Amino acid sequence: MLIDETKMVEALRLTTIVPTKKKELLFESSDQNRPGLQFSGHFEFFANNRMQILGMAEISFLDTLDAETRKERLAKYFSFEMPCLILCRGLTCAEDMASLARRHNVPVYGTQAYTTRFQAMAILYLNRQLAPHATIHGTLIDVHGVGVLITGESGVGKSESALELVKRGHQLVADDVVEVVRVSENRLTGEAPAMVRYFMEIRGIGIIDIRAMFGIGAVTQSKTIDLVIDLEHWVKEREYDRLGMVEEMTEILDVNIPRILLPVKPGRNLAIVIEVAARNFQLRRLGYNAAVALDNRLTELARGGI
């Protein structure tokens, strides 16, 4: 995947030592390589397609090599294509290394961070950049620690429900447009596009700024998506779930998320219902299902009657 070079430099707080004309850098994974083995002459299993990171150990080892061996090892090392090279701990880039980097169009960056600390930062950053993304029409809100994604057709009441939840002390993440990222095999996070972050559209009023209106405690930048509540206008002929014995799921970016279909009709307080749904979800996560508990009671009562 191609990653914007300028954004990466800014996010990881890098300084450019050897610039190139590359606007985007190609990364196949978030894994990294510290080329100690390559500098010792072993290139058989060289992960050259990863971010290359040099710390004190690698630079110190290079300094122990005689001039001819150093020249040979560095020449072979830079003959492979690589996304970029990072020098940690404020280490300087020797002229022979910088010259080879320029010749082979390999950008070299520096950081003051310790090597292991920078590796952790880079893994987190690349994991997020390389993760599958999707944009969903909906509203994401943190309700009692549960990330609730409210979906439904336009005008069904998603924003109004979220506004009432904010008034009740919950936190808005995104309104109308939610950028979803799969950060692991079974975990999704969502946030708002930077341009419209913390803004909400209320029909009849217009655009409002939730952070300015309700304070910084009423918003949060990102949240895991734990539960999807799909709002739809009440259809009289439709059979809605009244027991909750079976948990319905929906798939987003190949991750199954619990889903509740919530009918909307005049006079129904959706904010309270969504709060209850979030609390009930937490109880189910802890292993308690009210519908199953009631069914067990009825079964025991029936057995006692027999």
- Catalytically active residues are 137, 158, 176, 242
Pairing of strands 206-209, 199-202: antiparallel
Taking the C-alpha atoms of residue 101 and residue 231, their distance in angstroms, rounded to an integer, is 56
Residue 134: how many other CB atoms lie within 10 Å: 13
**Residue 91 — φ and ψ, nearest 5°?**
-70, 145
In angstroms, the CA 71 to CA 12 distance is 30
Nearest to 32 by CA among 111, 97, 85: 85
Helix 270-285 / helix 158-167 crossing angle, nearest 10 deg: 80
Distance CA 306, CA 300 (A): 10
Closest C-alpha among 233, 269, 275, 128 to residue 190: 128
